[in-house]
Each structure stands twice: as structure tokens, then as C-alpha cells.
Structure 1
Amino acid sequence: MAQPASVTEAAIDTRGLTKRYRGGQLAVDGLDLAVPRGSVFGFLGPNGSGKTTTIRMLMGLIAPTAGSARVLGEPMPSAVRGVLPRVGALIEGPALYGHLSGRDNLVRYDCADPTADPRTRGARVGQALERVGLAAAAGKKARAYSLGMKQRLGLAAALLQPRELLVLDEPTNGLDPQGMREIRALVRELAAEGTTVFLSSHLLDEIEQVCTHAAVMARGRLITQGTVGDLAEGVRGRLVVGTPDPPEAVRVLKENGIVGLVVDGDLVTGELPAQDPPDLAELNAALVRADVRVRSFGTQRGSLEDAFVALTGEGFDVDG
């Protein structure tokens, strides 16, 4: 497991963070999490892994049973009044007034911020709507918004003021592919401006595309954390052979220590052994000597999805 960053480097730092509910249910168990400042940090875990409970503790919405959490260098929840104005958050979907327009909802949010200058409120609201692509629908009642539009409006509320930290829980929920691309681009833009983004998502492809770092939770405990590249590289690569002779290829590959062999049409894939993997050039030569016609030969690096499944034993549906 990657070593946690120091408190001075971390936008979020937890030590032994624990939450036990009445009845004995242990939702989060001794969590040591470090989110580097300036990172886009993906927070992954299967259903019931404790992600949402963790976020609620970080934002001061619920108190931990044990352990500690620091957000932007301040202890939570005791420093909640000083920290939250520096944090933008979209957690478990936006809370909106259905009878108000999108613009009026943002005005309400802005009025609730004691640090917001009322003289520049209109400009802030307009800029936030523009940034999430809702300027044309600003006058529409929120009850008539689609799920994706509501997500965008919630994100706009989180962006009314410049934020040091942005906490997003499933921010692309309900968005079409174009909307998802736009939100990913916005996250990258915010990170380039110096905002730390903490992103909880069940979409592993989304995490891999946009995040610099990630952590994996399972059954309330932290399994691993580190850079996205390091997590993916920790998974064994797969050998991919294109051939019109799959049965013969499978036999030769098995004899040379390749495991987990799968045939899909003219493609044969398998896992390279973790200990003493064969030389790829010699493996290719062995196929040729056995009169296997090789049309393509190479390796695929492990993906974040491969790493997640290897760490948790869970499939791709990891919402929680």
C-alpha cells in the first residue's frame, strides 16, 4: 500500500477514522486516507463499502465514532464553520427547490453563504450556470429538469465561489456521454487551476480517465491507495495472440506457463505468470515452431478495472 502523504501535503487526511452505527454495524473501520493537494482523487468501492459514510464524516454531516479527520489542515467536525466555505460539495444528489428556476436556486445557495458578496451575486450565478452548460435553461423550473440537468445545477452550486477542495459524489449520474465528457473536462480544468477534486464514482473508466490518484474501499476498510498508474501497473498484464489456430495456440501457451487462457474468435488471451514470466520472443518462437500461424502478438497492460477486481473480488457494478 502506498504510504499516506503528510498532513501538510494533504487536502484530506484521516487517521483511524471509524464509524459504528447503532446496533453494531461497522460502516468505516480504521481508515487512514491521504488526498494530496492539487490531485484529482478517485474514491472507489463496491456497494456498502463505506464511501458515502466517509464523505459525510469528512463534511461534518455525521460524527465519527473514533479516529480523526483533517480537511484543508483543520480538524473535522470541530472546524466545520471555517472549513466548509472553502469546500464545494455535491453529495448524494443536489437538494433543489422544484418550484424555483435554476437561476433562483443558485441565488438561494449564494445567499446562504455568509462570505458571498451580494453586490456580485448575479455575476457569480451567471458564470456558474455558464460553466456547467445550463445558461440556456437558467429560467426553467428545477422540477422540469432532467436528472442530468439537476446534477449540473448541483455542480454549479458547488462552484459559486472559488474552492480549495471540491467533493463530488457520482457527479456524472444521469448525464449522457457528451455531458460526461464535459464534466470530465471541467474537473481537469478545475484541477489545473489548483483545486483539489475528491471524486467518488462507480465508473472505473471515468476514474481512470480523469483522476491522478485513487483509493479502493471494501467492507469499510481501505484496501489500497496511490497514483492511478501505480494501481494499474500492480496488475499482471495479459498476453494477446491473434491466430487462426486457437486450439494449437492454447496448448503451446499453456505448456509455457500462460494461465487464465480465453479464446474469443481468432484472439487468444492469457495472464503472464507473476513469477518467472517467459521471454516474449521465445514464446512467439515456440508458437511458430508448433506451426501456429501468428497474425498478431503483444501484451495489454492492466487496467484500473483489473486492479479493482483483483483487490476486491467485485465486478464492475461498484456503486455505494
Structure 2
Amino acid sequence: MDEPSAAEPGRGQPPEPGPAGARVGVIVTRGLTKRYRGGQLAVDGLDLTVPAGSVFGFLGPNGSGKTTTIRMLMGLIEPTAGTVRVLGRPMPRAARTVLPQVGALIEGPALYGFLSGRDNLLRYDAADPAADPRTRRARVTAALDRVGLTAAAGKKAKAYSLGMKQRLGLAAALLRPRGLLVLDEPTNGLDPQGMREIRTLIRELAADGTTVFLSSHLLDEIEQVCTHAAVMTRGRLVTQGPVADLAAGARDRLVVTTPDAAEAARVLKEQGVGDVAADGDRVTGEPPARDLAEVTAALVAAGVRVRGLTVERASLEDTFVALTGEGFDVAR
């Protein structure tokens, strides 16, 4: 979606109630599949549930099907098979009802380079038939202030940096309250301070009741702001759930730093440490059930020169690599 969409006044309509009055997800897909001409399978049987009020991270390597999925969620392309429900309504059939309640920044904002940042937002808002023209300038001013662009509001958009364009696109998505905000790489091009500001804004939006669906290549970003996440690879969903649970699924590692790696590996195996591996002066393994003080004492008694012994806690990065077999961008 190249342009942020407009929204109805107030929060988006709540998802339709499920059985026994339970609330279903703000986004729900079942068997969602997209096959392009030539047989390329971009998305394969995706079952995704985004809880109401969550900040939902959507992870995957390049080419995993994330952008294709988002485009189907927004009704921009038709699925080959399966169903999509957004805010409780079927997509793309209910696009005219759903999209006014959704703010989106996907694949970068579409801007008029010859207009100022402020005039771009005024143009976006004027294109929304539900927008109240009497409050337009006040809402544009508030949106610019919220993303830190007040000082640059009068500059032409073509003079904006990539990070400033990202901010302006986000401001367009925030001209009025949203039930759902869909963001594709929202911190792309921002400096560290800008990243922190956008992450803080995302948390504030979620606290106000907006569900945020966030596609990102930055695992650090997902761990800092997201309550839930899903991981895709090669068009298939491999896991989803609360971020804390996903990280807990990876194994902690015992790490011993020593110049006597071979002897340390032997002793660790004797002490019940599993999956022992040595690489240079670093020996790793699964933490044993016994007290680590006893393991340290055994290493010292065997003459191993221990320079460090610690347990590295599992992270979302560990989970991602274990599930996909691929590295990931963890830059801050």
C-alpha cells in the first residue's frame, strides 16, 4: 500500500465476537495462500491471529512472504486461497468499510515532492471524505508534532531525508485515531534517537487502544516494543505467540572461556553438560542441572584455566535462527 489510508472518527470498530462472546483477533487469516503466475508460491497456508490491543511483530528473512501477506491483508492483492478478516470483516470484500479504520505505512510513503510536509498531510486529509475540514489544520499540526516534524513542516518533501519521509508517512497514518495501524519497517532510515522516538510512539498508540501490526528486520525493535510476534520463512508460518514465550523456546547456553578448551570440554561432559562444543577459547553447552559452582570447582581441579563462566540467556534472535536456519539483522 503506497499511501496511508484515512479513518473513521474515533477508534475502529471492534472485532466481531467469537463463540461465547470471546473476542477474536483484529487480524485473522486461515489457509491464506498466494501463488503467482509461473507457480511461485509466495504465501503457503498462513494461519495468523493478531490479538486486539497487541503490538504484533511480523518477522522473516527477505523473500519470506511478509510483504505479500500485508498486501493481502490490506486488500491490495487477491489471495489464491484462504480467508482474511480484518477488524472482524472479510477482506478484500469489506475493504471500503475496513480501510477507513486502518492507518498504514507500507513500502515507504507516497509523497508529493513539490509540496511541503504540511501540505502533503493537508492533501491526504482532504482526500478523505469522512474527514472534518473544520479540524483539518489542527489535526495536521498535531500529527506533525507527534512524529517530530514541526520544525520541518514547511520544507518541500523532496528535500526530506529517508527518515523524515518515514516520519511524514507515519504522520499521515495518524491524522485521526485508528483501530489498527499496519507498519512496514517504520524505523527505516532513522537515526538511533529517531528510532527510540518512534518506538515510544508505538507503545503510546497501543496503550491508547490501537492494535499495531509491525513488520521489521530489527529483532531488537521487536523485543523492545512488541507483545506478540510471528515468524515466517519461505512463505510459511513457523511460529507465533507472545514474544516472551517465543524467546523462552530457545535454549540457554553455558559458556566457558579458557585457553584449555579441549580439557574444559572433557570436564564439562563429565559434569553432565550436554551438547558441548569448542570454538577457539570458547566452550559452550547446555547448562547442567547441578550447581554451577560445582562445575567451576571441577574445572579448576582439573587444571583448566577458567577466564570466564556464564550462562547466556536465550533471545528472540536464537529462536529465529533455530526456526529458520538464517541470520537476521539485529542492529540497533
Indicate if the aligned counterparts of 1:46 and 1:317 stay in contact, CA closer than 8 A.
no
The answer (yes or no) to whether the contact 1:258–1:270 under 8 Å persists in 2 is no
What runs of 5+ residues in structure 2 fail to find an aligned partner?
1-16
Q: Distance in 1 between matches of 2:216 and 2:283?
A: 29
Alpha-carbon distance in structure 2 between the residues aligned to 1:296 and 1:9: 49
Counterpart-to-counterpart distance in 2, 1:161 and 1:125: 9
Structure 2 residue aligned with 1:179, among 171, 194, 203?
194
**Which string of whole-angstrom CA distances, capped at 9 and with x for unpartnered residues, describes residues 206-239 of structure 1?**
1111111000001111000011111111111011
Given residue 261 of structure 1, which amino acid in structure 2 is its aligned partner?
Answer: A
Is residue 2:187 matched to residue 1:152?
A: no
CA RMSD across the alignment: 2.0
**1:270 matches 2:284:** yes
1:42 matched residue in structure 2:
57
Is contact 1:8-1:73 (8 Å) kept? no
Find the residue that maps to 2:99 and give its secondary structure.
Answer: helix
- Match runs of 1:109-124 below 5 Å: 109-124=124-139
Contact 1:18 1:30 (8 Å CA) reproduced: yes
What do residues 37-69 of structure 1 show as CA deviations (whole Å, max 9, x unaligned)?
Answer: 011100001111100000000001111111100
3-state secondary structure, aligned to 1:105: helix
Preserved CA contact (<8 Å) 1:110 1:160: yes
Which consecutive segments of 4 or more residues in structure 1 shift more than 6 A? none
AA aligned to 1:287 is L
Which of 128, 135, 140 aligns to 2:155? It is 140
SS in 2 for 1:42: strand
What corresponds to 1:279 in structure 2? 290
Unaligned runs of 5+ in 1: none
**Are positions 1:57 and 2:57 aligned together?**
no
Matches of 2:149 and 2:208 in 1, distance apart? 22
Q: Is the 8 A contact 2:254 2:286 kept in 1?
A: yes
Q: TM-score, normalised by structure 2?
A: 0.88
Q: Percent identity between the aligned chains? A: 76
Separation in 2, partners of 1:31, 1:66: 10
Show the counterpart of 1:312.
324
Letter in 1 for 2:273: G
Decide which of 76, 80, 86 is 2:91's aligned counterpart.
76
Looking at structure 2, the residues matched to 141 and 18 of structure 1 have their Cα atoms a distance apart, in angstroms, of 41
Opposite residue 148 of structure 2, the aligned amino acid is G
* Segment of structure 1 superposing worse, 116-125 or 234-243: 234-243
Using the size of structure 1 for normalisation, the TM-score is: 0.91
Opposite residue 135 of structure 1, the aligned amino acid is T
| Counterpart residue type for residue 291 of structure 1 | G
- AA partner of residue 304 (structure 1): L
- Aligned partners of 2:228, 2:105: CA distance in 1, in Å? 20
